[in-house]
Amino acid sequence: MKSDLLIIGGGLAGLFSAAVAAKSGRKVHLLTYGAGTLTIGGGIIDVLGYDNDAKPLKTPEEGLEKLSANHPYQKIGKHTLEKALEFFKEISIEEGYEYIGELGKMQWLPTAAGTLKPTCLVPKTMDARVLWHTNNIYVVGFDYLKDFYPQLVAKNLQKVYGPYTTITAEMCSLNFAEGRDVSSLDVARWLDTKDGREIFIKQLKNKIKPKGVVIVPPILGTLPNYEVLDSLERQLDCRLVEAAAMPPAVTGLRLRMMLLSYIKKLGVTVIEKALVTTAITENGHCTAVVTDNFDRQRAYQAHSYILANGGLYGGGLKAEPGKFIEPIFNLPINTPATIEEWSNVNLFSDKKQLFAEIGVEVDELMRPVSADGATLLSNVHVAGRNLSGYDFCYEKSGNGVALASAYKAAISLQGRDEYE
């Protein structure tokens, strides 16, 4: 089966590039092995939070110009980044799960540790701006729910919002009769039900003063819509804010569902549990990629390919003593031979980590290049975490680079007629 575009990877970069390409009328196949790290991520779009000296930026936009020349954003350009964010927001509106925010504004989101983290686009359940406009913040935890301790969150946030804001920790009891440890996903499933919402409201109704804002872990329903948020805000007469918390982060699940729903409506074929192991290339042109299953290998042909299968964690890059490997196309990865140089002595230092910045080097159309800058494959584009030149964890740019590079890759595909 031949398609216009074959995408390797079902994370944010893979799904978003599928959306861009399918929207422009291309026939897209997407191969995914596992549900992707998107599932367990926070589901928010960080674009750029800190500068090279670990100083928080006023806005993501402000930091763009100061990035080094090999940073993906420099190659992609601010204009394309903006268009990518715009299209992402359009999708979210169309799917009934609107994301809010813009490049010119930093959003500071409370976390389960009671700190704030900088981000750019968030679902409406994480609109933390309201926290600056209230005198009463309530942090609500749930009995049995580990990894979210309202007292800790309240105590640390007090330092952020100052002495004139009253921050109260509250507990909500779950009527779970039996069973395993409780995760935020369990609580989200509970709030999906009418019973769960009624019990939640009953316990909080009298505790919350008018115009108060309630911080909860990511529990406001499992589906990418605002039914749970709207219903609870209406009945409690307050605003609710989901904090960034531990996996399984329900917000990541919702984001994945939203994008899958969008691309499937556009006719994208998603093939699950398909592990791409090799590619067939001829004269700098990819003719097929090959999956290796328990039974046999299968070749998938397309006019163009987008490689978006992640970095070390997602499986798109592999580290071996002295070298990094890109296993499918065997692309060159510039890596210092001595492993000691890959990282700082202090893992949690205030410097970027080289191991995080190692990745595939690309040209202006996101195609892989050799050490001397020559384009290696004319119809293969790279997007997302396997790109070189950025430490997403340090600067808080992971999903922003994923969206921007995916968008750039998908609009850089050459026309079908060029191959026919």
Partner 1 sequence: MSKHLINPDKCTACTSCVAHCPVTAATRKFRGPKMVGPALERMRLSQQDEDPSLEYCSNCKNCDISCPSGVPISTLNMLARAKHFESNKQSLRDNILSHGEQMAKLSSAIPGMSAITNLGMAIGRKSGMLELVGISGKAPLPSYAGESFIKQFKKLRQENFPDKVVFFPGCFINYNDPQVGMDFVAVMQKNKIEVVIDEEFVCCGSPLVVNGYLTEAHDNAQKNTDIITKWIEKGYPIITCCTSCGLMLKQEYQELFALDAVKTNAKYMYDSLEFLTILKDDGRLNKSFTKFDSKYIYHAPCHLRAQGFGLPALEVLRLIPGLTIEDADAGCCGIAGSYGLKADKYDISMSIGKNLFDRIIATGVDTAVCDCGTCRLQIGHGAKVKTIHPISLLSKAYS
Q: Contact residues for partner 1 (CB under 8 A)?
A: 1, 33-37, 39-40, 176-181, 183, 185-186, 189, 247-248, 253, 264, 269-275, 291-296, 298, 313-315
Whichever of 272 and 418 has its CB closer to partner 1, that residue is 272
Whichever of 35 and 266 has its CB closer to partner 1, that residue is 35
Q: How far apart are alpha carbons 118 and 59 in whole angstroms?
A: 9
Beta strands in 67-115 (DSSP E): 99-100, 107-110
Whichever of 194 and 296 has its CB closer to partner 1, that residue is 296
Whichever of 110 and 314 has its CB closer to partner 1, that residue is 314
Whether the bond into 248 is cis, omega within 30 of 0: yes
| 3-class DSSP state of 337 | coil
- Least Å distance between CB 403 and partner 1? 20
- Least Å distance between CB 182 and partner 1? 8
- Least Å distance between CB 288 and partner 1? 12
- What does each C-alpha distance from 44 to 100, 112, 177, 255 come to in angstroms? 10, 15, 33, 8
Whichever of 104 and 267 has its CB closer to partner 1, that residue is 267
- Least Å distance between CB 225 and partner 1? 15
How do strand 276-282 and strand 285-292 relate by DSSP bridges? antiparallel
Whichever of 87 and 176 has its CB closer to partner 1, that residue is 176
- Least Å distance between CB 271 and partner 1? 4
413-419, long-range: CB < 8 A, 24+ apart: 413/4, 413/5, 413/21, 413/26, 413/303, 413/304, 413/379, 413/381, 414/303, 414/304, 414/378, 414/379, 416/4, 416/26, 416/303, 419/303, 419/379
Length of the chain: 420
Whichever of 179 and 321 has its CB closer to partner 1, that residue is 179
- CA angle (305, 307, 309) in 5-degree steps: 145
- Least Å distance between CB 273 and partner 1? 4
- Least Å distance between CB 115 and partner 1? 22
Q: How far apart are alpha carbons 138 and 83 in whole angstroms?
A: 37
